[in-house]
Amino acid sequence: MSTESAAQSQSAPAPGARDHSGWRLTAGILGRTWLWFVGACLVVTLAPMLLGWRPYVIESGSMLPRIAVGDVVLSSPENDPQVLLGRVTVFTDPADPAHVKTHRIVSVNSDGTLTSKGDANPTVDSAPVPVSDVRGLGRLLVRFVGLPLIWAQTGQWLWLGLFVLSVLVAAQLTARDREDDDPDPGDGPDGDVVPLPARSGESSSTSIAASRPADPGLARHARPARRWRARTAYVVLLTSILTVPTAQASMAATSASTANAWTIGNWDYATSVTDLSPYLYWKLDETGTRTRVAVDSSGNGNDGQYNPRGSATYFTRGITGALATDTPNLAVTLENSNACINTASTTPISAPAQLTEIVWFSTTTTSGGKMLGFEQPRTGIAQAGNGGTYDRHLYMDGNGKVWFGVYNAGDSLISSPGPLNDGAWHMAVGTLGTGGMKLYIDGVLVGTNPNTVGEATTGWWRAGCGNLAGWGDGWTGPNSPTSSSNPARDYPFAGSLDEIAIWNRVLTATEIRSLYVSA
């Protein structure tokens, strides 16, 4: 037999053979994509452990919408209370030491302990957190990676089974595609033939090829070994998902979240505000010792003005603000009794019949003061009976209680249940409309008043100063303005302000709550 006929007989295809390489290639690509995605999520979750960080799977929904059930929070060691303040922190639950909790630290107490709160909870946690119980500061959030563990713990076997099945199917598709890529020991022009020495007188280039069976050991064991190595890797992959420690984002008894549902929700506060179309929005992110303009981020051009002339002795700009996740997260401190932020325009506007006003504040003052209000004239002190008007304001009394006041032939008032001059950032919201007056603190409705009308006047918005003479009804603590409107007197706010916004409509309770949890 000639060498040519031997080669032809070796390359002849088997009868009835079909080429499945196309669908195997497609399936292999899909399988690899899914496995690479799962693997990449695990690498992002576990690799930071080399730096001393720890991953924690979230088991409940009190940190919605930013942190959902099944998310993984990566924390780094940290025990400085000032660094932890306002940020997501992982700690041993003081009310149940067998569990770990992931909540935001909202204040540092006088005894050095920390007060924590879930973003979706309207009230703070009942038990203070000793600094020694803090496990770490939340640094990185990986979405959904811990869901298989949650499914295993809660008996959601259908979802867990579908996930495991998807990984196994992807592994099998990938392995089958790899088989097509690897040549058989008997494939190729020399797979089953061994060149024989040339006979005497024949050219060495015309060696006679003789058939010889391929090594049966190679054919039997090479591919199974590769398969078992791959399957072992996938088992390790699945096991690693189920060994990440868990942390409860525990629910308060009055939590606004009624179920531990997981979502993709992730909002930015500034975007949330502008999406609601405010009349003005002073973010107070300005820096510089003599910056004069408080830029209006609403797009309506209603800028504010740091007075007098933005003097460095009256304001400290660029301090850490109220929004822990905002960039930049800046605010302003009013350092002087003459400091005020006034509307820049000299043209008065009609006092809105319906309104929502929001101010973020932080203070330890015991003197009270006006945080935000509508006043005539634009600057200086309004004098009742001499063309001056002042109402629709949010202010603090000497004991730290926050008030919302509207004038309608008399003072219509709402106050917070307790003091808020604890040095932490708080969001105060006052609304006036056909449904009456409402006061919200940190996204929660704390009081109402049936009054639906404010004084018909013109004027300007201002923050951090203004007259309160005559608004002493219900005032607690020192520095009361009494019930008399004379003499006129400025009541400046000694503290820090941030994120001032005004709407000429009443925001709903849901909108206000959404703003707070997005901060």
User: Residue 356 is part of a domain; what is its CATH number?
Assistant: 2.60.120.200
| Residuewise pLDDT in 10s, the chain (519 residues) | 444 444 444 444 455 445 556 787 888 888 888 888 888 888 888 888 888 899 999 988 889 888 988 899 999 999 999 889 888 999 999 988 888 999 999 888 889 999 999 888 878 888 999 999 999 999 988 888 889 988 887 888 999 899 899 889 888 888 876 655 555 544 444 444 444 444 444 443 434 344 444 455 544 444 555 555 555 555 555 555 555 555 555 433 333 333 332 333 334 789 889 989 999 999 999 998 888 999 999 999 999 999 866 677 899 999 999 997 678 899 999 998 889 999 999 999 999 999 999 999 999 999 999 999 999 999 999 988 888 999 999 999 999 999 999 999 999 999 999 999 999 999 999 999 999 999 999 999 999 999 999 999 999 999 999 999 999 999 999 999 988 888 889 999 999 999 999 999 999 998 898 888 777
CB 296 within 8 A of CB 281: yes
Question: In this structure, are 204 and 274 located in the same domain?
Answer: no
Q: Which domain holds residue 412?
A: 269-282+348-517
Q: Does 356 fall in a domain? A: yes
Amino acid letter, residue 472: G
Q: How many folded domains does the chain comprise?
A: 2
Let me know whether 277 and 229 are in one domain. Answer: no
CA distance 85 to 100: 18
What per-residue confidence (pLDDT) applies to 273?
93
| 318 within some domain | no
Looking at the fold, whether 368 and 248 belong to one and the same domain comes out as: no
Q: What is the CATH number of the domain that holds 130?
A: 2.10.109.10
Nearest Cα to Cα of residue 449 among 467, 468, 436, 432: 436
Among residues 257, 291, 312, which one ends one of the domains? 257
Token digits of residue 448:
């109402």
Look at the block and give the residue holding tokens 């996740």. Answer: 325
Q: At 45, phi and psi to the nearest 5?
A: -75, -40
Q: Is the domain of 276 the same as that of 252?
A: no
Q: Tell me the pTM.
A: 0.55
Q: What stretches of 155-286 show up as alpha helix (H) in DSSP? A: 157-181, 216-241, 269-275
Closest CA to 495 of 408, 418, 402, 433: 402
Number of H helices, E strands in the chain: 8, 26
- In order of 96, 150, 205, 282, 424, the CA distances from 266 in angstroms are 29, 21, 72, 23, 24
Tell whether 323 is covered by a domain: no
Asked whether residue 210 falls in the same domain as residue 274, the answer is: no
Pair 174, 273 in one domain: no
CA dist 406 to 64, 371, 429, 444, 456, Å? 34, 14, 13, 20, 11
For residue 428, being part of any structural domain is answered with yes
Q: Within this chain, do residues 88 and 136 fall inside the same structural domain, yes or no? A: yes
pLDDT attached to residue 180 = 55
d(CA 214, CA 217): 9
Q: Are residues 121 and 167 in the same domain?
A: yes
In a domain, 306, yes or no: no
Residue with token string 């991953």: 55
145 domain-assigned: yes
Contact partners, residue 381, CB within 8 Å, separation at least 6: 388, 466, 467, 488, 489, 490
User: Do 137 and 167 share a domain, yes or no?
Assistant: yes
382 and 457 co-located in one domain: yes
| Residue 189 and residue 276 in one domain | no
Cβ atoms of 100 and 247 within 8 Å: the answer is yes
Does some domain include residue 136? yes
β-pairing verdict for 246-247 and 54-58:
parallel
∠ at Cα 389 (383, 392), nearest 5°?
135
> How far is residue 6's CA from residue 389's CA, in Å, rounded to a whole number?
109
pLDDT at 249 (0 to 100): 56
| 185 shares a domain with 273 | no
Does 330 fall in a domain? no
**Assigned token pair, 371:** 């945080």
- End-of-domain residue from the set 257, 292, 309: 257
